[in-house]
Amino acid sequence: MVSPRAPLSKLTAGLLFVSFLIYLVIINRLEVGQSGRVADPASFSSRMLMNLPSSGSGDSNNLHDTISNSGVITAIDNMVNQIGVAGSDLTETRVKDISNEIAKQIADYVVQRLGKAATISNPCSSCWKHGNATDLPVIYLVTPTYRRPEQIPDLTRLAQTLLNVPAVHWIVVEDNSALSPAIASLLKRYGIPHTHLKAQMPEKYKKSKLKPRGVANRNAALDWVRSNCKSGVVYFADDDNTYDIRLFEEMRFTKKVSMWPVGLVTKVGLSSPVVNDKGVVVDFFDGWMANRKFPVDMAGFAVSVQLILEKSDVYMPYVPGHEEDGFLKKLDVSPADIEPKANRCTQIFVWHTQTKSNTPANRTTATGKRYKGTNIDTLQEWIV
């Protein structure tokens, strides 16, 4: 077995060599006068690094790949452009400082690659606040969604929240006959690990006055989890809620079922477990109790993947208002199984904000000759 430190030690020597080359290239390209000031500061670009001849080192190809990376190239260019900004005030010492910063950028990139901490295919990797999250239980975040004017804005807000959460897998399930290209594009753009599914509400429920929205979507996600996961936690996160990122760390190590308060729910403005001074759930507080054993909001609990695998025949019922209660009862959850989070349910980390409902757009004006062949045609794809 090859020692994991071996590649790093070889590349370290190579990086020092490249740093030296960088310095020589800068000095050779810039004329240093007797006063030690640079006469032609704007003539250097990091693109030159891509044309460096092979040094004969066994690591030259790896190093060339590293300094050819577009992100590293951009970072290097930004630092080298400081030469032009500094102008006549630039000294040889400053050039050395800049070359050291360039070498540091290369070193950081290589170490990151060796540690597999970077999601290379993620175009928004700079947004992630975490490093290597391979040791964390994965949160499988289930979001049912349907086409409406607020859909893309709501999903955008949730996506930008999830960019700050390590070890998360986003399962987005559309109530649609086909996957939406707009949502597929959004998921790809943010680069969050995800699964994109579709599951329509059964026809027999579509004519009901009270529709069991999101049930087919969540049940499709449960099927996916049972087929693809062995551990972690499942959380049903609707796209019209607002989430504090602390919530996700609260639920991450759920053993069976964890619960917490949800704000802006019903006329009382809150749905929460009632926790005594011993930290035990003894009751529930909700504006609509309705003789439910578990009068909780969909955003107020998480379930371990292990429990979902053990109860392989449990799904959410198509009963409006009783989806959460029916699901938890089928899981054979008792009050003793509930783990109160958010400082014994004294803090609110999720709110049922419900984006204001908008009426469908009137497309008549946009279809007129005045806007034919302009950007308005393209924007129509985003308007519902």
Q: Let me know if 203 is a catalytic residue.
A: no
- What is the rounded distance in angstroms from the CA atom of residue 384 to the CA atom of residue 381? 8
Is the distance from CB of 147 to CB of 178 less than 8 angstroms?
no
- What is the rounded distance in angstroms from the CA atom of residue 49 to the CA atom of residue 253? 47
DSSP state of 270: E
Q: Which residues pair with 169 in a beta bridge?
A: 140
- What is the rounded distance in angstroms from the CA atom of residue 70 to the CA atom of residue 289? 56
Is the distance from CB of 325 to CB of 288 less than 8 angstroms?
no
Is the distance from CB of 321 to CB of 112 less than 8 angstroms?
no
Per DSSP, the three-state class of 304 is strand
- What is the rounded distance in angstroms from the CA atom of residue 236 to the CA atom of residue 9? 45
Q: Which residues pair with 172 in a beta bridge?
A: 143, 196
- What is the rounded distance in angstroms from the CA atom of residue 384 to the CA atom of residue 380? 8
Q: Which residues contact 66 (CB under 8 A, 6 or more apart)?
A: 72, 106, 109, 110, 113
Is the distance from CB of 199 to CB of 217 less than 8 angstroms?
yes
Residue of 174, 250, 324, 339 marked active site: 324
The set of catalytic residues is 324
